[in-house]
Structure 1
Amino acid sequence: MMHLLAADPTLADFGKDPLWITIIKAVMLFVFLMLGVLFGVWFERKLISRMQHRYGPNRAGKFGLLQSVADGLKMGLKEDLFPRTVDKVLYLLAPVIMVVPAFLAFSIVPFAPMVNLFGVQTPLQLVDLPVAVLFMLAMGAVSVYGVVLAGWSSRSPYALLGGLRSAAQVVSYEIAMGLSFVAIFLFAGTLSTSEIVKAQEQTWFAVLLIPSFLIYVVCMFGEAARIPFDLPEGEGELVGGFQTEYSSSLKFALIMMGEYLHTFTASGIAVTLFLGGWRAPWPISLWDGANVGWLPVLWFFIKFVLTFSFIVWVRASLPRVRYDQLMALGWKVLIPVNLAWILLVAAVRNVVINEGDRMIGIGLGAVIVIGALAIWMRFDTVNQRRREARKAQVEAEFEELSKEPVAGGFPVPPLDLPHYHGVQHKEIPSGTN
């Protein structure tokens, strides 16, 4: 019986459940995500408050655990206002478009292997597809329509700019994120999430494919629009970004829920594709019963919470980057590095896994590494010349300013007043009256 429960699910195990089991799993996933949003808001506020030497929520319930529930009830009881010039249909539809794809994207995340659910052997995963990872990327792209429509339907320049920023950001980082998965596909040989978890039985892909994991971590913040990449809602220049015209009502609550659900999806995908999914970490994995039955749910939940905690920690530690820095990082760094890394992984796979021509694989890998180093040195040389030219320009400007008789004073430049002409200045030593 233990060996039966410990079996890794495959694509053939999906689609055989009775309808009532599928409904139960869908309800369990919905409850998990809804409770996760309530707990996630409280956890983020509490963790950031501790990092900033504050108490955080501490009024509603023990340790403030009911603060999110109180805020949700408050938003539900508030008057629902509509700005005069908004497109009401799209204005109401945009928050829904942001939330629904996040629920659908999480449906491909495996929580555990085959489990006994009310007497039925079933994988603890709502659905799996031969192209499950592509489905996740598609849902992430669809949710951006909600942000763009929220900005466009609000008829506000701030909201419109926030929506356009979100579209450009997703186009930039969705490509880099998709490329970071290619190395996983090459090693796992599949796009199915359950089989990718199975492929990490010996070594997590976060260890085996460290560059892909690091690139995904950066893209994760850009995809979820979290600090330091939350440019679509930059308060300093866009007031509230795409959600400027949404009052504190249920519409605003849906937008906040969508943001947290996208963060949860990014964390769940990181755990599934890079951190072994529901598999126990070493050395717990040496125990035969570590990945049996419902116990893997605990390992998945621990990894999930730690990943979400890392996202919150980054929010409390780093400032928001400029928009040009965001675009430059995506197009000039992440995508080129991704392409070079994919070529290198393909060469290694040809040598190690497929037993191809060893010399061809080694030669291709050497060419890729040398080419990447040459390109990096070329760009580094160009940037160094630009920095030197900028430094020389600044020094020339300071030298020119030093020649001006009225420049350089602090806190204000000295005034060139006619009635002071010819008057001798007397230096007064410091400390004398």
Structure 2
Amino acid sequence: MLMKKFLLSLSIMAFGVSAVNAAEYTLYDANGATKTEWDVNAATNGFTTSVSENGKSFTLTTDKAASTTALRNPGTETKSMRVYKGSSLSIESSDLTIKSILIKYDDLDNNKYVKTCVLSDGWTGALEGVYYSLTSANGSKSFTLTAKEAQVRIVSIVVSDTEITVPVDPDPTPSEAVSVKNVKDAIALDTKTAVKVDFDLTVAFVNANNIFAVDAAGDFIQIYGKNSYKANDVIPAGWEATYELYNNATPELLPKGSLPASTKQEAFTPKEVAAADITTAMVNNVVLVKNVVLEAASPATKDNFIGKVGNVELSLRNNYTLASVDAGTYDMTLLVTVFNKATSLYVISYNNDGSGVDEIEAEANGEAVYYNLQGVKVAEPENGLYIKVQGNKATKVLIRK
């Protein structure tokens, strides 16, 4: 009898030790509970950070891999870590055999960024709402997740050497929409506020689901949602959305349901601004900046480059992969965005006064020279319609690569 009690005591002690050793480790939390600095990793064209939790050490690394989009620093994101399509996220530990990982995704835009991914050998995953529960029977000290189907956005990452229970998030209590009469009304609200948009907006620029619109007072806001709008369309009042200050920098409206069809058009003309006057307060504005000097050809890929107006340097980005233009002086239509608390100007169009299509001169040496339909010389034409000048002959050509 005494021996049985002794063995029972040993089993209880062993169970207690196992329970103590089994712990959960929060490696990433976009809301700041676990926030670390991420360093540039030149080998992966991504970023790396080290995390110490409860005596265990971990390394997280993002890898651009096959992604066509430059990766963003997770340490500067305030809402979620972006793992773009074709890129990957790796987790390594020198002293913990990881058997389960719980990833919480961002529920933005009806769970648009909630997707399954390609996992390391021996790992399986299951989606439960916004949670992606990953398990490995044998466990491992390293793990890689690759976004194959589409981009995913991660709010938090928890790992353990035992099973992690998927939490049940309570249903949010719906709040009554606040009526807003203009953009200033909307951006004065707290982020995540439900609003009713009781004013018309004119579309200044649209790219896929990103709409940049202006109200009657000239104030801009971004709208993110499926649409069929084009520039100059008027978005009529009377629809509901959630106002959000994305990354604590960009005011945007996230529509609840479908956006209304445009009922009329109003001409939008970008306001000319001085290069020195552009600030982060102008986020979402579509503006015209004249006499921007490019000292080298602009990139044809989605990359950053520099333009100058006098002594003022402009941080430009070819975010919409416009065809490359040669070094020269241009009037540029730009979208003001904010990245890392500084302005980043997305080029919408280039215009080179005095070099319109009607004024193109043929090259005397007979080599083919290409111009876009605005008359701007293009160093490396991509897919699209161009003016080809060769010798004394100019023809319109369609290039497909």
Per the normalisation by structure 1, the TM-score is 0.19
Per the normalisation by structure 2, the TM-score is 0.20
Instruction: Identify the structure with the greater strand proportion.
Output: 2
Bigger RCO (CA 8 Å, 6+ sep): 1
